[in-house]
Amino acid sequence: MARSYVAEARRRVGPKRERIGPIIERLAAEYPDATIALRFRSDIELLVSVMLSAQTTDVNVNRVTKHLFQKYRTPEDYLAVPLEELEDDIRPTGFFRQKAKAIRGTMKLLLEEYDGRVPDRLEDLLRLPGVARKTANVVVAERGEAQGIVVDTHVRRLSQRLGLTRQEDPVKIERDLQRLVPRCDWNRFPHLLIWHGRRVCIARSPRCEICVLNDLCPARRAEASPAMPPSGGAGSARASV
């Protein structure tokens, strides 16, 4: 029964290859300013911010880095203090011991092998301690041309609900999205999903009734009416957040 309902929902909205264009267009119209929420002024600050953002909110990271980046400006600065001092300085971001260790390991490797600079290539970023694929993708995308697609909790949830992937593993989800999303949209696509996921397609209670994608979404709740206008209006996410 459940399987046939899912199949019926997929038939109703049509193939994902035909939906991906309108999905991106509508979200781009809805969130023209969708961008990273972390605040940073240099590549080092970007890298540290993204490393600190694991398991916490961007708002929390910005609160901590506002002071942190006054004190630590170069890779050497992170190695010049005792580990415990760095732990204390980043404590409010949670998992501070692991994060402090990873940041120091990363700064050491940057100095030893990359002249103290953040490398450009995804492969090089992935060599840094504590830098997983999501962190590396965010850093690369923010510095220019994306070499992959960031998959965080929002991107994962929305990609699944929109029927863009059936995978659970972030690496496999990214592979599906790379096949589907035009390369020129790899930078902005995750931001659009993240913004929509925070405002409308919320994890516990998606607001399908005001969602601009509800006629394109196989997971639309039954009681929500289809075919919302693509932008604006009192019910739009912009108006309601």
Provide the token pair at 150: 């960031």
Contact call for residue 162 and ligand SF4 (CB under 6 A):
yes
Subset of 58-87 contacting ligand SF4 (CB under 6 A): none
Can residue 198 be called a binding residue for ligand SF4 (CB under 6 A)?
no
**Separation CA 217–CA 80 (nearest Å):** 52
Q: Which stretch binds ligand SF4 (CB under 6 A): 50-58, 89-97, 99-107, 202-210?
A: 202-210
CB of 222 to ligand SF4, least distance (A): 11
Out of 140, 149, 208, 237, the only residue in the binding site for ligand SF4 (CB under 6 A) is 208
Query: Binding ligand SF4 by CB under 6 A: which of 44, 86, 136, 219?
Result: 219
Check if the beta carbon of residue 61 is closer than 8 Å to that of residue 53.
Answer: yes
State the catalytic residue, choosing from 16, 89, 134, 215. 134
- DSSP code, position 101: H
Q: With binding defined as CB under 6 A, does residue 228 bind ligand SF4?
A: no
CB of 161 to ligand SF4, least distance (A): 4
Q: Does 201 bind ligand SF4 (CB under 6 A)?
A: yes
The four Cα atoms 177, 18, 32, 34 give a dihedral, to 10 degrees, of: -20
The verdict on whether 172 is a catalytic residue reads no
161 binds ligand SF4 (CB under 6 A): yes
In the annotation, is 134 catalytic?
Answer: yes
Per DSSP (E only), the strands in 9-106 are none
DSSP state of 185: G
Burial 47-73 (b: 16+ CB within 10 A, else e): bbbbbbbbeeebeebbebbeebbeebe
* 3-class SS of residue 149: coil
Q: Which amino acid is at 8?
A: E
Q: Which two tokens stand for residue 81?
A: 């203090």
By CB under 6 A, name the binding residues for ligand SF4.
161-162, 200-201, 206-208, 211, 213-214, 217, 219-220
